[in-house]
């Protein structure tokens, strides 16, 4: 066999393996490889991790995952009764001491309160290793009917809240010479998600903002991970924004829908954090395939989306295909 034939075979085999991994996997190829051969979540033992939006859904399950790994935790959200419940469960599942978990009430859009919150964390733990910006709300609304106030509210919560906290925590990380910011973005931060115009815009914004930061702080031992989950079981539909200011969607998830289980999503986020990955996609198919199509053949993926139409894409998104 000559060299050219060998190269052609290597390329063919590489592509076949990649396509099989995409079709059978529930995360991007690199994350699948890291899950099998990379660092385990346990390597985060002892680290101080601040999780916003820890009172339900992905944030709650991530707290359990990191408690099992032996992390020290700051749990934030608005509902402190729910945070206390999560704290108790963390102590049971992770057998960590009470003083290793700080429940800290935080409203992401009350920017003036963030400095006090950061001070409380530093008073308790002396430093922060990892900040997980997870708090957020989704949306179900038609683009044209969405009021400008909803666009504004979405940006305040899903973008400015993230920036406000990160800007307060980062200088400490810089001074210490280490740190890690993790943003729970969404597949909607990569693709246009119908009936979620403001949400799509907000998640794209977070990705852009932090991709720029990653380059600026690349030499400072501070890491940035953007996590893009697809449909995952959580409380997100109940409290999603609609087109009207102040309204909640009050949607329910059916257990038969093809969404990812919350604990699986949290585990994969743990793997991404442990391996300090830059960007990860965590989703079942066909959404994972669409992510790859969008990344490598953007025009083809937009053509496919157009042909499928709003109803079909929305079904994929709600795991009802
Ligand atoms: N589930 C999915 O399919 C999916 C897919 C892609 C991305 N995501 C992202 O994952 C993240 C977590 O969502 P989830 O699915 O776990 O939804 P969830 O169950 O509704 O959890 C959202 C969390 O955010 C908190 N939160 C909401 N508004 C807040 C505010 N103003 N201040 C502080 N905390 C606030 C909530 O706590 P309180 O109400 O107690 O404040 C709750 O703990 C979000 O950023 C979401 O965009 C979810």
Residue 62 inside a domain? The answer is yes
Residue 5 inside a domain? The answer is no
Give nearest CA residue, ligand 1 atom 41: 78
Give nearest CA residue, ligand 1 atom 42: 53
Residue 4 inside a domain? The answer is no
C-beta 160 within 6 A of ligand 1: no
Instruction: Report CA(63)–ligand 1 centroid distance (Å).
Output: 13
Choose one of 53, 158, 185 to mutate for the ligand 1 pocket test, by most ligand atoms within 8 angstroms of C-beta.
Answer: 53
Query: Among the atoms of ligand 1, which is closest to the Cα of residue 158?
Result: 45
Write down the pLDDT at residue 314: 87
Write down the pLDDT at residue 263: 98
C-beta 27 within 6 A of ligand 1: no
Instruction: Report CA(225)–ligand 1 centroid distance (Å).
Output: 18
Q: Quick one: tokens of 149?
A: 């106030």
Residue 138 inside a domain? The answer is yes
pLDDT tens per residue across all 321 residues of the chain: 789 999 999 999 999 999 999 999 999 999 999 999 999 999 999 999 999 999 999 999 999 999 999 999 999 999 999 999 999 999 999 978 999 999 999 999 999 999 999 999 999 999 999 999 999 999 999 999 999 999 999 999 999 999 999 999 999 999 999 999 999 999 999 999 999 999 999 999 999 999 999 999 989 999 999 999 999 999 999 999 999 999 999 999 999 998 999 999 999 999 999 999 999 999 999 999 999 999 999 999 889 888 888 888 888 888 777
Write down the pLDDT at residue 61: 98
Sign of CA dihedral 268, 229, 299, 159: negative
Instruction: Report CA(318)–ligand 1 centroid distance (Å).
Output: 17
SS3 127: coil
C-beta 283 within 6 A of ligand 1: no
Which residues form the domain of 255? Answer: 27-317
Residue 21 inside a domain? The answer is no
Which contacts qualify for 265-269: CB closer than 8 Å, 24 or more apart? Answer: 265/58, 265/61, 265/229, 265/232, 266/58, 266/61, 266/62, 266/64, 266/65, 267/41, 267/65, 268/26, 268/27, 268/31, 268/35, 269/58, 269/62, 269/65, 269/132, 269/182, 269/184, 269/227, 269/229
C-beta 319 within 6 A of ligand 1: no
C-beta 232 within 6 A of ligand 1: yes
Query: Among the atoms of ligand 1, which is closest to the Cα of residue 203?
Result: 47
Give nearest CA residue, ligand 1 atom 25: 53
Q: How far apart are CA 270 and CA 189, in angstroms?
A: 20
Write down the pLDDT at residue 59: 98
Instruction: Report CA(58)–ligand 1 centroid distance (Å).
Output: 7
C-beta 84 within 6 A of ligand 1: no
Catalytic residue set: 199
Choose one of 58, 87, 238 to mutate for the ligand 1 pocket test, by most ligand atoms within 8 angstroms of C-beta.
Answer: 58
Q: What is the CATH number of the domain that holds 279?
A: 3.40.50.720
Residue 9 inside a domain? The answer is no
Give every strand in the sheet of 179-184, ordered side by side.
101-105, 72-77, 48-52, 130-133, 179-184, 222-229, 279-282
Total domains in the fold of the chain: 1
Residue 52 inside a domain? The answer is yes
Write down the pLDDT at residue 304: 87
Q: Which residue do the tokens 């529930």 mark? A: 26
Write down the pLDDT at residue 185: 98
Residue 229 inside a domain? The answer is yes
């Amino acid at each position: 066999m000559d060299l050219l034939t060998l190269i052609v075979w290597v390329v063919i085999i590489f592509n076949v393996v990649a396509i099989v991994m995409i079709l059978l996997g529930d995360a991007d190829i690199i994350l699948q490889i890291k899950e099998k051969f990379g660092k385990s979540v346990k390597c985060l033992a002892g680290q101080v991790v601040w999780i916003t939006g820890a009172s339900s859904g992905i944030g709650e399950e991530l707290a359990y995952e990191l408690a099992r790994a032996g992390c020290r935790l700051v749990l934030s959200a608005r509902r402190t009764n729910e945070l206390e419940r999560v704290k108790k469960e963390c102590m049971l599942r992770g057998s960590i001491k009470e003083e290793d978990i700080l429940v800290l009430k935080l409203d992401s859009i009350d920017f003036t309160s963030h400095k006090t919150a950061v001070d409380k964390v530093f008073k308790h733990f002396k430093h922060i290793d990892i900040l997980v910006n997870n708090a957020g709300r989704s949306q179900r609304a038609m683009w044209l009917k969405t009021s400008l106030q909803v666009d504004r509210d979405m940006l305040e919560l899903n973008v400015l809240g993230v920036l406000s906290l990160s800007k307060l925590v980062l200088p400490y990380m810089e001074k210490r010479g280490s740190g890690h910011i993790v943003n729970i973005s969404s597949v909607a931060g990569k693709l246009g998600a119908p009936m979620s115009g403001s949400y799509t815009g907000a998640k794209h914004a977070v990705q852009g903002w932090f991709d720029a930061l990653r380059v600026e702080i690349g030499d400072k031992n501070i890491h940035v991970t953007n996590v893009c989950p697809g449909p995952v079981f959580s409380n997100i539909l109940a409290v999603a924004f609609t087109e009207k200011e102040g309204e909640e969607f009050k949607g329910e998830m059916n257990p038969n829908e093809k969404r990812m289980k919350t604990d699986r999503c949290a585990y994969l986020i743990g793997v991404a954090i442990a391996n300090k990955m830059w960007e990860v996609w965590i989703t079942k198919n066909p959404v994972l395939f669409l992510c790859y199509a969008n990344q490598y053949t953007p025009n083809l993926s937009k053509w496919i989306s157009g042909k499928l139409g709003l109803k079909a894409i929305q079904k994929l998104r709600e795991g009802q295909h």
